[in-house]
Amino acid sequence: MAQFTRPTILMCPPDFYGIHYEINPWMSRSRQSDDALARTQWHDLNRLLASLGTDIRLMPPFDGLPDLVFTANAGLVWRSVVFLPGFRHPARQGETPLDDAWFRAQAFETRACPERWNFEGAGDALFCGETLFGGYMIRSDAGALQWLGREIGCRVIPLQLVDDRYYHLDTCFCPLSPTQAIYYPEAFDDYGRRALVESVPTLIPVVGAEAARFACNAVVLENDVVLNTGCPELAVALEHLGYRAHATDLGEFIKAGGSAKCLTLRLDGEDAARWP
Ligand code: ARG
């Protein structure tokens, strides 16, 4: 079983990153990313996370799989088990065998998503306390979330995602601690909003303009929150709660529909998770 002595994050260098297909409304092949700038932004994020005390592990990049940089989708980590993704879009399906091999080489046990369902890893499954919140409809299926609940033996709250721009749960919901989270209310239906309000004691809403800057796609490291630039209102709300907000420009990755959180995967468990 993999052992960690400090917060440990998986990232994948952007060597083969680019906008090569369009599978979400942010992506347009006519709006290419700038290679050099993407590398700089990725390295700045990497250095910022390292300066906050994290150990960063790297997945080798792979030519032809530009979205492999978004390691949040490499799986859902629970203790020494990784639930592997079954991607909705064929363009990303080639990532799963690489994820599987990497985790196994690191002494994780991997479990495949049953074939009849799609599931996109930590992008659509986030623990807040002992509860697993799951996003479904756009990329992951509700059946896959129920499968996770059975495997883990935890309560699952499935949340339907209703806005194509917020196609993964981690683009519109971010647990900060077992009792606190950030969310973008408009990305959910009434039922989902109610479920969130009833089950998370402190919920910080973000405004539309900051949701579109991927305010909810933040990396939480105890009292430090790392996110894209252009989210001043959220930064103030976080500071009121005792968090320090660190903004770093990730504009080249927004072009693919991802930001700080998507570019990372906590291997030792998120701070907000109280794993059953
Ligand atoms: N282009 C990628 C996709 O559409 C972005 C993935 C972002 N990852 C995330 N966890 N939200 O699949």
* Helix/strand/coil percent split, the chain, to 5: 35, 25, 45
73 lines ligand 1 (CB under 6 A): yes
Catalytic residues, by residue number, are 168, 262
Burial class (CB in 10 A: 0-12, 13-18, 19+), 117: middle
Mean pLDDT of 60-73: 98
250 lines ligand 1 (CB under 6 A): no
259 lines ligand 1 (CB under 6 A): no
For the cut 90, the answer to whether the pLDDT of residue 1 exceeds it is no
The percent of residues above 70 in pLDDT, for the chain, comes to 99
258 CA to middle of ligand 1, Å? 5
With contact defined as beta carbons under 8 Å apart, do 26 and 165 qualify? yes
264 lines ligand 1 (CB under 6 A): no
What number of CA atoms fall less than 13 Å from residue 153's CA on the CB side?
A: 3
Phi, psi at 273, each rounded to 5°: -85, 135
Mean pLDDT of 146-168: 98
**Domains, in order of start, for the chain:** 8-266 (3.75.10.10)
In the predicted model, what is the mean pLDDT of the chain? 98
43 CA to middle of ligand 1, Å? 19
263 CA to middle of ligand 1, Å? 9
Q: What is the pLDDT of residue 201?
A: 98
Q: Give the pLDDT confidence of 86-133 residue by residue, as tens digits.
A: 999 999 999 999 999 999 999 999 999 999 999 999 999 999 999 999
Mean pLDDT of 170-176: 99
Q: Name residue 12's amino acid.
A: C
Radius of gyration of the chain (CA): 17
